[in-house]
């Protein structure tokens, strides 16, 4: 199995036949944005058309489908007149063929992932779909491809819980309308809103629109009320809004409406997200649904940065570590206000958001719901020049980072003092036989009595060699076993070795009985002792609400994960933690386990190698004691670490 890529060159042939400034930015070249690699699942046009129009679930009305099919016989004047009946749409003869092919191509991707032919995949297709409604085209969208895919997955494959993540900069109101009363589909959208002054100018795009009937709580809108949102804002929204709900929902499939118009320099989105951020968002979604993730291209209007963003997404789907996020990870006040509002709106419907301190900020963020808001003035020449310069700088920084820190030749290595026949590893994981020189190992061990024994010294030599490989660029991540009594001392030496080798910031996450802080006061090291909650919900609250925000805020060069024995610590918990910590350090993770445990080592190796961790299943609620302990820790750390915050500053 690999990563499926669905694409057909016919989707790039449509061209606008008349002058229309609104529609000119939607160009078919965006479907031909990069020579990405993977396992190709490419359908022919006729098959895609047959599957979309005849075999798809009846999502769009028969009259609307017939109207779209009839555009093949219309002339230019008739096509322009028909397009004028809809909001920001253009119909062409060739475009209608593509629009019918696109849903069929998306269904091929869903089939490939759900039948096990591929782990995950991306559909590079045009036109987009998330604005399309049951009986109307809208916003360049003719058929709602992701919505059709969700309905198809339910009817053809018998799925009961599907998560749709719409990270396009525009609200996918078409998808929301289709599933607003359906509890089997959790729809999440963040979008440029500006208090209702940005297209599509809808009151129902606001945070307090949570669905209808049985679907209440299954529509999650996160409106951005100013432009310029960046990486920290988007990652914070995932950690504090989407992922808590997603884990509680426990989806069987994740569909991404993958619009890239929030990338820095995009003239439509006017946001400041860098391309590598999409790799991080993708990695965070791959821990759900056993990694069954299907991304489908939506918007994106800066073609060069669109291509880089797509490449970053595919890199994450392939299991490669994401490049570290550059720049300060500090969410802005407006983003925190939006996060606070959506958490308050969703708290009545989700256990994971209850019993947490949240001000009831439920007033509408739109100024006057009675009147249609006026659109913001078009960006002036001065803004466009500045945005273009920022885009060039972001692209240069990304390319420099990829050049100076290329992917290591070994993605994952394990260093064990003994092997076990029960240990099952994925292909490509390296059994490291080497060790640091004996005299050098003894010198590093000298301050610690626990490292005097031969067994501890041998294990330490392997740990030092593995740390050298990670920081030297030969290995991305690794796993090493240590004797139980030598864990704290080994951790201390590993930290000092990492800093000695040039790591500027080293994050240590200790879990279970390994949670004794190592004897060091170095300011370049940040140590988190993770309390072990008694329920899965408590563990997730700790990881999403404490560990990952601190990790992204600290931006470490390498992460050390020390896993000690504990009654409530399952292999799936450890694998999830290791998998999610790959992001903040660009994949540089060294996991220390006490003694060799083949099942745990195998689970960690698969997670660090880029495979999806095992599903946690339905989440039990966090206990009041765990919730209170987490609240206390967050209150202590929030003033310094802004990624922990989930609310804007109170009014003066």
Q: Catalytic residues, which ones?
A: 131
**Alpha carbon distance 381, 386 (integer Å):** 9
Q: Measured in Å, how far apart are the chain's first and last C-alpha atoms?
A: 56
**Alpha carbon distance 118, 590 (integer Å):** 28
442 and 421 Cβ atoms separated by less than 8 Å: no
Composition of the chain by helix, strand, coil, percent to 5:
45, 15, 40
Helices 303-317, 275-285: inter-axial angle, 10-degree rounding: 30
Give Cα separations from 499 to 405, 502, 525 (angstroms): 18, 5, 8
**Alpha carbon distance 11, 28 (integer Å):** 7
Give Cα separations from 471 to 325, 476, 486, 549 (angstroms): 18, 8, 23, 23
Handedness of CA 85, 90, 91, 97 (dihedral sign): negative
521 and 494 Cβ atoms separated by less than 8 Å: no
Radius of gyration of the chain (CA): 25
State the DSSP H helix or E strand holding residue 489, giving kind and residue range, or none if neither: helix 487-500
**Alpha carbon distance 419, 77 (integer Å):** 74
**Alpha carbon distance 126, 106 (integer Å):** 11
189 and 220 Cβ atoms separated by less than 8 Å: yes
**Alpha carbon distance 97, 81 (integer Å):** 19
- Residue for token digits 């640091």? 436
State the DSSP H helix or E strand holding residue 508, giving kind and residue range, or none if neither: strand 506-511
600 and 576 Cβ atoms separated by less than 8 Å: no
Other CB atoms within 10 Å distance of the CB of residue 502: 9
145 and 129 Cβ atoms separated by less than 8 Å: yes
398 and 323 Cβ atoms separated by less than 8 Å: yes
Tokens of 377: 């003035």
DSSP state letter for 453: S
**Alpha carbon distance 478, 432 (integer Å):** 9
Other CB atoms within 10 Å distance of the CB of residue 268: 20
The 3-class secondary structure across 546-577, one letter per residue, is HHHHHHHHHCCCEEEEEECCCCCCCHHHHHHH
Tokens of 455: 């067994």
Other CB atoms within 10 Å distance of the CB of residue 21: 7
Q: Is 103 helix (H, G, I), strand (E, B) or coil?
A: helix
Other CB atoms within 10 Å distance of the CB of residue 409: 10
| Residue 314 neighbours by CB under 8 Å, 6+ apart | 3, 5, 34, 36, 37, 38, 122
Maximum Cα interatomic distance, the chain, rounded to a whole number of Å: 87
**Alpha carbon distance 109, 317 (integer Å):** 14
């Amino acid at each position: 199995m690999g990563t499926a890529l669905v694409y057909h060159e016919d989707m790039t042939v449509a061209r606008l036949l008349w002058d229309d400034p609104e529609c000119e930015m939607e160009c078919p070249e965006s479907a031909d944005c990069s020579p990405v690699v993977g396992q190709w699942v490419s359908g022919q046009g006729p098959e895609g058309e047959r599957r979309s129009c005849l075999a798809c679930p009846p999502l769009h009305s028969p009259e609307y489908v017939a109207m779209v099919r009839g555009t093949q016989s219309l002339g230019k004047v008739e096509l322009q007149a028909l397009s004028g009946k809809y909001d920001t749409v253009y119909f062409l003869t060739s475009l209608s063929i593509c629009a019918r092919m696109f849903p069929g191509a998306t269904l091929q991707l869903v089939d490939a992932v759900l039948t096990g032919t591929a782990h995950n995949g991306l559909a590079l297709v045009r036109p987009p779909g998330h604005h399309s409604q049951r009986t109307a085209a809208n916003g360049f969208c003719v058929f709602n491809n992701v919505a059709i895919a969700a309905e198809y997955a339910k009817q053809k494959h018998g799925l009961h819980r599907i998560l749709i993540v719409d990270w396009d900069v525009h609200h996918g109101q078409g998808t929301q309308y289709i599933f607003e009363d359906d509890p089997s589909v959790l729809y999440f959208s963040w979008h440029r809103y500006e208090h209702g002054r940005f297209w599509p100018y809808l009151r129902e795009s606001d945070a307090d629109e949570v669905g209808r009937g049985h679907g209440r709580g299954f529509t999650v809108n996160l409106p951005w009320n100013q432009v310029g949102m960046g990486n920290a804002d988007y990652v914070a929204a995932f950690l504090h809004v989407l992922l808590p709900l997603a884990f509680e929902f426990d989806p069987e499939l994740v569909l991404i409406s993958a619009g890239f118009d929030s990338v820095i320099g995009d003239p439509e989105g006017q946001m400041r997200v860098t391309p590598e951020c999409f790799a991080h968002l993708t990695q965070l979604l791959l821990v759900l649904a056993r990694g069954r993730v299907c991304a489908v291209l939506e918007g994106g209007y800066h073609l060069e940065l669109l291509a880089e963003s797509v490449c970053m997404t595919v890199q994450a789907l392939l299991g490669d570590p994401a490049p570290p996020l550059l720049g300060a990870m500090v969410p802005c006040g407006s983003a925190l206000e939006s996060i606070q509002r959506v958490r308050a709106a969703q708290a009545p419907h989700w256990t994971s958001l209850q019993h947490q301190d949240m001000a009831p900020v439920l007033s509408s963020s739109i100024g006057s719901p009675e009147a249609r808001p006026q659109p913001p003035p078009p960006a002036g020449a001065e803004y466009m020049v500045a945005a273009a310069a920022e885009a060039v700088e972001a692209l240069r920084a990304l390319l420099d980072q990829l050049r100076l820190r290329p992917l290591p030749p070994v993605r994952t290595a394990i260093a064990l003092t003994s092997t076990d026949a029960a240990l099952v590893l994925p292909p490509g994981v390296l059994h490291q036989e080497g060790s640091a020189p004996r005299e050098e190992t003894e010198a590093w061990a000298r301050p610690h009595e626990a490292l005097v024994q031969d067994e501890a010294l041998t294990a330490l030599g392997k740990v030092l060699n593995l740390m050298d490989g990670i920081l030297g660029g030969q290995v991305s991540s690794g796993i090493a076993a240590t004797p139980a009594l030598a864990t704290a001392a080994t951790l201390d030496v590993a930290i000092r070795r990492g800093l000695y080798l040039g790591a500027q910031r080293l994050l240590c996450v200790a879990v279970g009985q390994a949670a004794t802080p190592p004897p060091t006061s170095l300011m370049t090291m940040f140590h988190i002792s993770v309390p072990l909650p008694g329920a899965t919900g408590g563990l997730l609250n700790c990881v999403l609400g404490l560990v990952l925000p601190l990790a992204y805020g600290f931006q470490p060069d390498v992460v050390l994960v020390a896993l000690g024995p504990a009654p409530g610590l399952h292999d799936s918990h450890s694998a999830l933690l290791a998998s999610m910590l790959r992001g903040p350090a660009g994949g540089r993770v060294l996991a220390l386990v006490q003694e060799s445990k083949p099942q745990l080592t195998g689970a960690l190796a698969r997670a660090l190698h880029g495979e999806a961790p095992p599903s946690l299943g339905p989440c039990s609620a966090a206990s009041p004691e765990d919730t209170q302990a987490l609240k206390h820790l967050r209150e202590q750390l929030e003033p310094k670490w802004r990624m922990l915050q989930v609310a804007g500053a109170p009014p003066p």
